[in-house]
Amino acid sequence: MLIEQRLARRTARPAVIGLGYVGLPLAIEFAKAGFTVHGIDVDEKKVAALKRGRSYVGDVPSKDVAAMVKAGRFIPTTDFRVLAKADTINICVPTPLNKTKDPDVSYIVAAAEQVARHLKKGQLVILESTTYPGTTDELILPLLTARGGRVGKDFFLAFSPERVDPGNANFQTRNIPKVVGGVTPRCTEVACALYRQTLETVVPVSGTRVAEMVKLLENTFRSVNIGLANETALLCERLGIDVWEVIDAAATKPFGFMPFYPGPGLGGHCIPIDPFYLSWKAKLSGFEARFIELAGQVNGHMPEHVVRRVVEALNKNSRAVKGSRILVLGVAYKADIDDTRESPSLDIIELLEEMGAKVDYADPFVPRIDFAGRVRRAVKLTKATISRYDCAVVATAHAGFDYDLLLAHVRAVVDTRNALKGRKSPKIVRL
């Protein structure tokens, strides 16, 4: 029986390697569609939580995990030997940068080695981890063909970029269009057949390199435009112009303009990292991606600019940074989620502490965080607590923050997100 027929009948067995923000939602969607899914992760604590029906990913309700585990359609494990039972394998592992800002594909290689060890005839393997163009062909394919199998005949290999946007209430795994590119046309067909059983829209492209480039273009587009917004904010500050008013007015144009907003820096796994994957590959090809790298530099220096604004806010009250008490509102990288990956708030905290400030944070989504050598716990925003601080920094505009209470009782506030839009007070220092 062809794999497409087994997929249509839900008798094929998917496996997902990596049960984080990408892999867990995908595995649960497969299970909800009627498949029996093996979810594999090397983190024993995560697997134990999932077996108890507890989700650690905000976009995946625990009730969904519990229901799929109880029904026997989602089987979390740390044992890679289950890959031998799988008909399809999705690799959803991290792709960070190393200390020199070069791609670290060690997680991809480790996962692919496990797949190669258990590869069987007719299996479909799909890489979803964001990476540079050529990864699927250059790294994974040789590992899978080392045993003599022929791609497109004995096994199928494709790339499909993850497009997860944590906290997005309108677009999640099921209804975000899925780009798919296979090593061969037959690989593309089989990979599309898998996703069409679960996801609303599948977009086939001509090959893996195109699919890999799609994700990098999407996030580099955002990085470059946010970089432009940040540089415009710096220029407007020099010129004494309200950048937020400028952007709002420009956004009234019904064509030729798309609003992007300045902020304290880039966060999350994708936008701060993906452009470096692209520029790294460009250098290997003898091409200098100057525009992309410049945007990265502008965005990367925004936490330092925020600290300078804090210094200015304190100076207005005749206070030095050293010894001042500062409250950072929000350590998640964006509003109303608990994800702190690459959060600029953490850079701001470290920079202020290096200058001698005493820094606390408030975040209803992140009650505790371990970084810079110690565990920190969130402060609750009350009249009494706010009054203790010389300055507050709105780094993440969570909807649950009481900004009027903050403004009433803090001595100064640096607003990096325009959270205090419409409010006028000499206490406010805007980005």
Residues annotated catalytic, as ranges:
270
Sign of CA dihedral 389, 393, 398, 403: positive
DSSP state of 305: H
Short-list 332, 312, 328, CA closest to 320 = 312
Place of tokens 């209470």: 405
The radius of gyration computed from the CA coordinates of the chain, to the nearest angstrom, equals 24
Give the sheet arrangement for strand 325-329, strand by strand: 358-362, 325-329, 391-394, 413-415, 428-430
Beta bridge partners, 415, equal: 394, 430
Element (H, E) at 298: helix 290-300
Residue 18, CA distances (Å) to 86, 93, 155, 180, 295 in order: 15, 5, 21, 19, 31
Kindly report the three-state secondary structure assignment for every residue of 102-157: CECCHHHHHHHHHHHHCCCCCCEEEECCCCCCCHHHHHHHHHHHCCCCCECCCEEE
Short-list 409, 213, 410, 406, CA closest to 419 = 406
